[in-house]
Amino acid sequence: MINSKQNLITQKINGLYCESANTWIDPYKPVEKAIITHAHSDHFTNGCREYICSIETGLLLRKRFGNNLNLKTIDYDKEFLINGINFSLHPSGHILGSSQIKIKAGSEIWLITSDLKRQKDKTCKSYEKLKTDFLICESTFGLPIFNWESTNKVIDYITKWVTQSEDSTSILFCYSLGKAQRLLSELNSQNFKNIYVHKSIEKMNVIYKSLGIELAETKVYDKDLEINNLKNSLLLLPPSLNNKNFLKKFKRVQTGFASGWMSIRALKKRSGFDKGFIISDHADWNGLIKTIKESKAKRVFLNHGDGESLANFLRDKEDLNIKQLKEVK
Amino acid sequence: MSLNKFSKLFEELDSNNSINKKINSLTKYFKSSSNLNNILTIYLLIGKRNKRFISGKSLREYYADIYKMPIWLIETCYAKVGDSAEVISLLLQDNLLKKDIKEDISLDQLLNKILPNLSKLEEPQKKSQIKLLWEKTTNDNQLIFNKILTGSFRIGVSKGLVTKAISNMIGIDESIILHRLMGDFDPIEETYIFLINQKLEQKELAYKPYPFQLANTFDEKIKETTSINQYQFESKWDGIRSQIIKRSNNISIWTRGEELVNKTFPELIKIISDFKNDFVLDGEILIWDEIKNCPKEFSLLQKRLGRKSPSAKIQKDLPVVFIAYDILEMNGNDIRSKILSERRNILEEKFYNSISEDQNNNSRKIKITKLLKINNWEELEEAKNSARNIKTEGLVIKNKNSKYLPGRKKGNWWKYKIDPMQLDGVLIYAKPGSGKRADLYTDYSFAIWENNKLVKFANAYSGLNNEEIRELDKWIRKNTLERYGPVRSVKPELVFEISFDNIQISKRHKSGIALRFPRITRWRKDKNIKDADSLENAKRMIRN
């Protein structure tokens, strides 16, 4: 059990907790001291007394959630002490600034991967391989049906999808932070008449560009734009705008969604997208197995998604001491 | 002319919600492929009794065996994806060596040679042959290949869409193309040439049924906007909708599902062959109770349908009749464009009078439906409420001035069904759906009280809206007691109103009762499980 008393990290209603340091990791409720692994809103909660995160995550958090957060930013790979417990942040490859958290007490090492990706991504540092005794690994896509194709291929699909529909506006829905910038770092703007982005995406792009990350040339989408001008163009929007009311003003339109979930046709159909592009900022089945094995952990806990299947599979096949954490949220 | 090309078509159809775009894709495809390829494509797309070369379950087991993956893991994936062919195609992406030589293959080769040969093989050979085929197939074709194997095509390409595309392409009215697609469908070159023939030759359709006209659900508004005098009222029979076609010496009985059932009902064929006139009738096959002069239970008819060549005893014990309510052709003349009142006249005067001489009075197996005398809307209500007494499903209301048109045309025919029976049940089990509802708990089981215990009495899949489905899915995941494979038992806490058309005694069910067409009509958030119905109540609803 993860919640056994002598464990350095335990799971509580409010999230993962290190009692010896009185520090929480991505807590769901306001706490005294929180380490934030990355700037996606489901990993952040307002109202904590103190936040600790990577430099890039700090920039993004301030932009998204306000300038007056009490933030302490730390370089990757640099150790810092809280109550005598040794912490360090390491790239997890998920999005810009995303971190794994390594915690050392005495000779015992714990590693929390948080969301991670093993594919290359020009907009963030690659996942750093680390050895640990105890591993808490994400498992969002923990089934063997999830196998990601190379980024180049998906970018190629997207480009063709847009350019082969000259008389339509192509709306590609994607998360405003992370996915949008990853796509923009790969798309070649010369292949498109125009690329428009939603203002929530533009807001994030500014930070990426200020860090010297190259993104395709874009214009900001404005609801007052002449609809005809959008023909034959690519429009990146957050998924929340995928509703009939919003879409009806575009006369000819095709919609797509860029997500690992698009592996499953039923999910695409249910959301009403014309096309799904399978591209994810998480590890796929083989990526997760590789991550777990490389960590050499003697105990593994899986967090989020289909962990139960992956845990059963690896326990049988590799004789690993592995278990899924309960969803507490 | 190939699987590659068909796979690309599938991808195009699957990734466009616009009907016009789908029709364009189809038209372009038909124009650039051979006749044989096209007819095989149509055969696959409209899914008309597609052959299943292997079951989804065996396919999953083969995969587990060949690639050494535990079957429980594949089943978990299947629950998430909801389609065997899709699961296999996703799993294979990880296993297929890229260096293998991938070859394209014609649909003809695949459907008429390779796969029929495959189904002839014994188990171990079959498995290794499937492995070989998987390895030869490109990643892009994997989904389509496995869908052909399992005979499961549901990609939102309806017969209507294919009809529209062909109609567009050759400039002939859709209703004619639809007619040409009725009945038997032999996926050979000639069928395609016939389908796209720009000349209209009545003879070519000789053995084909007409596209059926269907009724819309009754719209209360017509009470205010139209006069009752323009309608004709009939009983809504609960049987098998069928067309009886007699042209010269050829007789065929086609069901609405476009199945030829001559062999199932030899007694009807025998009687009809004695009739002098030719005709096409639209009506209903029923098991008839001669004494009470009304139909018997639908379940008896199902029993009868199960027998492909019924013995004399079965014909005697489960006697069928055909009740005609429309006539579409009389002595070779297509009369569908005559209005209903004229057709009714022909049905009574020309058809029924002529056969009365041929049928002896004791065994009137071919009947015509009686018109109900209804003079005002109150009487309609009364007729509906008493419909259960004469074992019908309610009424059909038909516009006397309407032509016989294919499909559901607004304003021509209305069905007015009796109010369903209802019981309030407690949700006890849930299972994920398949297809579009994969990974959503949408298949539910409900229980009612037997003394102090809950006993399962109904399974229901439909009736909730998308929002309710999502809300319930979340609740189920949070309130799971136990898991049995894909099935979860849940805390008995939620009450639903279950509606059904009929209730019968059943030895097969633990509760001792069986419901006809149970569906959810309301989520009773106002009710506590103590308010759910009892088995005793349910049994009281059964009438004999």
Contact flag A272-B17 (C-beta cutoff 8 Å) = yes
Q: Rounded to a whole number, what is the distance in Å from the CA of A321 to chain B's nearest CA?
A: 19
Minimum CA–CA partner of A286 in chain B: B94
Q: What is the mean pLDDT of residues A291-311?
A: 92
Cβ pair A136, A325 in contact under 8 A: yes
Close Cβ partners of B208 (under 8 Å, ≥ 6 residues apart): B179, B180, B182, B183, B184
Q: What is the mean pLDDT of residues B191-198?
A: 88
Q: Rounded to a whole number, what is the distance in Å from the CA of A225 to chain B's nearest CA?
A: 24
Cβ pair B450, B428 in contact under 8 A: no
Q: How far is residue A191's CA from residue A189's CA, in Å, rounded to a whole number?
A: 5
Minimum CA–CA partner of A271 in chain B: B436
**Which candidate, B126, B118, B177, B179, places its Cα nearest to that of B148?**
B118
Which of B18, B80, B88, B152 best probes binding to A when mutated, by most A CB atoms within 10 angstroms? Answer: B80
**Which candidate, B83, B89, B157, places its Cα nearest to that of B438?**
B83
Q: How far is residue B280's CA from residue B275's CA, in Å, rounded to a whole number?
A: 13
Contact flag B15-A274 (C-beta cutoff 8 Å) = yes
Cβ pair B110, B3 in contact under 8 A: yes
Sign of CA dihedral B264, B266, B268, B273: positive
Q: Rounded to a whole number, what is the distance in Å from the CA of A113 to chain B's nearest CA?
A: 24
Q: Rounded to a whole number, what is the distance in Å from the CA of B253 to chain A's nearest CA?
A: 38
The reported pLDDT for the residue numbered B18 is 87
Residues B290-309 have pLDDT tens digits of: 888 899 988 889 888 888 88
Contact flag B83-A254 (C-beta cutoff 8 Å) = no
Instruction: Provide, as residue numbers in chain B, all residues whose Cβ is less than 8 Å from the Cβ of A146.
Output: 90
Residues A188-221 have pLDDT tens digits of: 999 999 999 999 999 999 999 999 999 999 999 9
Could you tell me which residue, A326 or A280, shows the higher pLDDT? A280
- Which residues 93-122 on chain B approach chain A with CB closer than 8 angstroms? 93-94
Across chain B, what does the average pLDDT equal? 89
Contact flag B76-A306 (C-beta cutoff 8 Å) = yes
Q: How far is residue B425's CA from residue B419's CA, in Å, rounded to a whole number?
A: 18
**Which candidate, A223, A204, A229, A225, places its Cα nearest to that of A215?**
A204
Q: Which of A145, A309, A316 sits opposite B81 (nearest CB)?
A: A145
Question: What is the band of A328 on the pLDDT scale with cuts at 50, 70, 90?
Answer: low
Q: Which of B15, B16, B91 sits opposite A145 (nearest CB)?
A: B91
The reported pLDDT for the residue numbered B99 is 54
Contact flag B82-A266 (C-beta cutoff 8 Å) = yes
- Which ranges in B151-188 belong to alpha helices (H)? 159-170, 174-180
Structure tokens at B138: 């490109």
- Buried-state track B186-225, b at ≥16 Cβ within 10 A, e below 16: ebbbebbeebbeeeeeeeebeebbbbbbebeebeeebeee
**DSSP line for B233-276:** EEE---SEEEEEEEETTEEEEEETT--B-TTT-HHHHHHHHT-S
Tell me the pTM.
Answer: 0.81
**Which candidate, A101, A102, A119, places its Cα nearest to that of A37?**
A101
Contact flag B438-A254 (C-beta cutoff 8 Å) = no
Cβ pair A142, A309 in contact under 8 A: yes
3-state secondary structure of B30: helix
| Highest mean pLDDT out of A171-175, B38-42, B167-171, B416-420 | A171-175
Instruction: Provide, as residue numbers in chain B, all residues whose Cβ is less than 8 Å from the Cβ of A312.
Output: 72-73
Residues A102-113 have pLDDT tens digits of: 999 988 999 999
- Which residues 184-213 on chain A approach chain B with CB closer than 8 angstroms? none
**Which candidate, A231, A228, A183, places its Cα nearest to that of A205?**
A183
A:B CB pairs within 8 Å? 66
Contact flag A144-B439 (C-beta cutoff 8 Å) = no
Question: What is the band of B433 on the pLDDT scale with cuts at 50, 70, 90?
Answer: confident
Cβ pair B2, B105 in contact under 8 A: yes
Close Cβ partners of A256 (under 8 Å, ≥ 6 residues apart): A158, A161, A170, A171, A172, A173, A273, A274, A275, A276, A277
Q: Rounded to a whole number, what is the distance in Å from the CA of A64 to chain B's nearest CA?
A: 29
Q: Rounded to a whole number, what is the distance in Å from the CA of A34 to chain B's nearest CA?
A: 28
The reported pLDDT for the residue numbered B482 is 87
Cβ pair A248, A169 in contact under 8 A: no
Which of B84, B88, B436 best probes binding to A when mutated, by most A CB atoms within 10 angstroms? Answer: B436
Q: What is the mean pLDDT of residues A253-273?
A: 93
Pick the range with the lowest mean pLDDT from A232-236, B350-354, B366-370, B468-472: B350-354
Cβ pair A181, A213 in contact under 8 A: yes
Minimum CA–CA partner of A170 in chain B: B16
Is the pLDDT score of B20 beyond 80? yes
Q: How far is residue B501's CA from residue B519's CA, in Å, rounded to a whole number?
A: 9
Contact flag B15-A275 (C-beta cutoff 8 Å) = yes
Contact flag B438-A144 (C-beta cutoff 8 Å) = no
Report yes or no: B8 at the A interface, CB cutoff 8 Å: no
Report yes or no: B70 at the A interface, CB cutoff 8 Å: yes
Q: Looking at chain A, how many residues does it have?
A: 329
Q: Rounded to a whole number, what is the distance in Å from the CA of B138 to chain A's nearest CA?
A: 14
Residue type, B197: N
The reported pLDDT for the residue numbered B504 is 86
Rg (C-alpha) for chain A, rounded Å, is 21
- Which ranges in A100-168 belong to alpha helices (H)? 151-163
Q: Which of B72, B73, B80 sits opposite A264 (nearest CB)?
A: B80
Report yes or no: B161 at the A interface, CB cutoff 8 Å: no
